Structure 1
Amino acid sequence: MSDEQWLSHEQLAAWRKMIAVVERLPNILETQLQRDSAMSHFEYFTLAMLSEAKDRKLRITELALKTNATVARLSHVLSRLEKRGLVRREPCPHDGRATNAALTAAGWDAVVAAAPHHVHTVRDTVMRPLTKADVADLDRIMGAILSRMDGGGRT
């Protein structure tokens, strides 16, 4: 078997660290958001993406891209958020076949209340150990990996 079949020692060490982060970070974020805001990380991320959008609304297909979700998964989460009065679905005025997700006033209040605790957790867990150069490297590295995963399409 060729050496190309196996990871180098350096690659293996980096890969194992990446896997540890990929496995541990979701639980850290989920635990904090559930404890402090009674919402899942995906619910928060959905509200956050809507809060950043023009008029606080997006087509559901665009929101699915921004949240890295399938439309089916997003639809289930939107149903839960609708029941809590945090979002509403409405027809897209530019395309009668499309549906928009819109952040309600209660949804805005929820994301504004959750954001400081969430940002603290992200900063403390991920950003604090990094230098400014590390953050730039992390951005570049994650961009390269996402581009490869997406085939250049989504990110």
Structure 2
Amino acid sequence: MSTAIIIISALAALAAVGGTFMSRPWAPAAAFIAMLIAASSDATDFSAATIIFWLAAATIVTIIVMTLPRSVASSTTGVPYIAGAALCGLFIGLCISHAAIIIGTVTGALLGAIAYCLSPAGRSLGFPGRKAVNYLCAKAFPIVITLCITGELIAALVATI
């Protein structure tokens, strides 16, 4: 039964990462559900504090994304830059420590957003202006939370091998 739970958790995490690249508002919730499914297994060892922290983070970011104007929330402009760089930062962080997962993901998202803002397609955001910062907050925050939860899940699953 533990193997089936881990497989279901991994599929939910993959859906969350895919939802991140498509700028879906449910991606942070899907990542947390994947963590919760894995926590119900004997294979992983998540503390109650870890689960509560990521529940709060996923809830806050989901509420924020749902309050954004529909045009901003559904926009995928620049999301591949931010999500791709954040994913690279996540994998670098996974090689170092749990704290580095968060630091790497945040750093990657920031660098991805800067790269997009400096590209010809992102010049309209006027980096480093107010519009660019608002865009960064609207797009990078859900990406960072989703990928950090997924990174913690990956670290827990790899530790069981």
TM-score, structure 1 as length reference = 0.33
Higher strand content, 1 or 2: 1
Between structure 1 and structure 2, the one with the greater Rg is 1
Higher helix content, 1 or 2: 2
Structure of greater relative contact order (alpha carbons < 8 Å, 6+ residues apart)? 2
